[in-house]
Amino acid sequence: MNPVNYLYLAALLFTIGATGVLIRRNAIVVFMCVELMLNACNLAFVVFSRMHGNLDGQIIAFFTMVVAAAEVVVGLAIIVSLFRTRHSASVDDASLMKL
């Protein structure tokens, strides 16, 4: 098997995640789709690292994970505070700037 197949898998997962972000309305599920896209990128980085024979790609994937962890914490806090004020986790209900 050619290792390029890993890249195709990463592209497929990224596409599925992007489509999910566009289709889904629940903020939590949209957020999970973003996580899926980040994971697909990480897979591509790891495979590139293997292709080029150095560890720089793995370092970038590691930093992506750290940033993703920070992003999840803040994003979920935003979702929780939105839910408190609007009693809904739907992204459509957050169309107005103010309550």
Partner 1 sequence: MSALQLAAYTTSTGEAFQFWVLGTFAVIGALCTVLMRKAVHSALCLAGTMIILAVFYLANGAYFLGIVQIVVYTGAIMMLFLFVVMLVGVTAADSLKETIKGQRWLALACGVGFGVLLFAGIGNAALTEFAGTGRANANGNVEGLAALIFTKYVFAFEVTGALLITAAVGAMVLTHRERTERARTQREMAEQRIREGRHIPPLPAPGVYARHNAVDVAGLLPDGTPSELTVNKTLRERGQIRDVSAEALNDLRALEQRAAERLERTAIEPATFKRPEEASK
The residue count for binding partner 1 (CB under 8 A) is 72
Q: Report which of 44, 36, 32 is spatially closest to residue 14, judged by C-alpha positions.
A: 36
**Cα–Cα distance for residue pair 62/68, rounded to 1 Å:** 10
Are the beta carbons of 89 and 79 closer than 8 angstroms?
Answer: yes
How near is the Cβ of 2 to partner 1 at its closest, in Å? 6
CB of 30 to partner 1, least distance (A): 10
Structure letter (DSSP) for residue 88: -
Check residue 2 for interaction with partner 1 (CB under 8 A): yes
Q: Sketch the per residue contact string, 18 through 57, with partner 1: x for CB under 8 A, - otherwise.
A: xxx-xxxxx-xx-xxx-xx--x--xx--xx-xxxxxxxx-
Residue 1 vs 97, nearer CB to partner 1: 1
Q: Does 9 bind partner 1 (CB under 8 A)?
A: yes
